[in-house]
Amino acid sequence: MLSAFLSQVGLPVLIAIVGGALGVLEHPAAKTAVQALGKVEAALKSGQITSEQLAEANRHSEKMAEMEIEHYQTSLSEINKSLRAEIASEDKYVRRMRPTFGYLMAFTWAAQMFGIAYVIIFETDKAGVVMVAMGNLSAIWAVGLSVLGIYVYKRSDDKQKKASRDVIFWNEKKIY
């Protein structure tokens, strides 16, 4: 999809879109990027960047987009394989892995929140340090909650499929 977009509109339009999007951010890195993209856009308009160079940049952008899409497809394929193996497993623990992980996440989250609440209420002088430490854990929580989200989504899908199979089975057994 991105490679098709790049091949149709090319780098100049992409520069304008990205520059416009970054322009609304109040961050020095974003402002620097907007200035740099403005210089590239000006060089394109003034002819300092040749059409051959632009065509090569467009080709390179398309290739990078294709590689990124391939990477996402591979990742999704691997996740799909592992979920299929879990569903097909006759091992009771493998089938209960999702709820177990969910309960552990809920327990851990509750323990952390109660601990933070305790520190904020009873040891307020340490609250700032604890809040910074909690912020440093955000990446770990993002990963865990993402996995839990995939589990919940997949379980909902499993239930839908089972419900549709049950309806088909019931209709086959129904006597008219």
The per-residue pLDDT of the chain, averaged, comes to 79
Q: Is the pLDDT of residue 85 over 50?
A: yes
86 in a structural domain: no
85 in a structural domain: no
**pLDDT computed for residue 126 by the predictor:** 92
Examine the fold and report which residue of 43, 75, 107 is the final residue of a domain before the chain moves on.
Answer: 75
Examine the fold and report which residue of 75, 101, 117 is the final residue of a domain before the chain moves on.
Answer: 75
Q: Are residues 96 and 169 in the same domain?
A: yes
* Of 86 and 74, the one with more pLDDT: 74
Nearest alpha carbon to residue 36 among 22, 50, 54: 22
Q: Are residues 35 and 70 in the same domain?
A: yes
Tally of domains in the chain? 2
Report whether 96 contacts 139 (CB < 8 A): no
87 in a structural domain: no
* Residue 132, number of CB atoms within 10 A of its CB: 9
Q: Is the pLDDT of residue 100 over 80?
A: yes
Which structure tokens are listed for 23? Answer: 């322009």
* Segment 157-172, tens digit of pLDDT: 666 666 665 555 555 5
114 in a structural domain: yes
d(CA 74, CA 72): 5
**pLDDT computed for residue 110 by the predictor:** 93
d(CA 37, CA 45): 12
122 in a structural domain: yes
| Alpha-helical segments (H) within 91-174 | 92-122, 127-136, 138-173
20 in a structural domain: yes
Q: Are residues 68 and 112 in the same domain?
A: no
52 in a structural domain: yes
Q: Is the pLDDT of residue 112 over 90?
A: yes
What is the domain extent for residue 153? 92-173
Q: Which residue has the tokens 């992409």?
A: 14
* Segment 12-71, tens digit of pLDDT: 787 888 888 888 888 889 889 889 988 888 888 888 888 788 788 888 878 888 888 888
d(CA 31, CA 39): 13
**pLDDT computed for residue 57 by the predictor:** 82
Which structure tokens are listed for 153? Answer: 């989504």
% residues pLDDT > 70 (the chain): 77
**pLDDT computed for residue 125 by the predictor:** 93
169 in a structural domain: yes
Task: Report if pTM > 0.85.
Answer: no
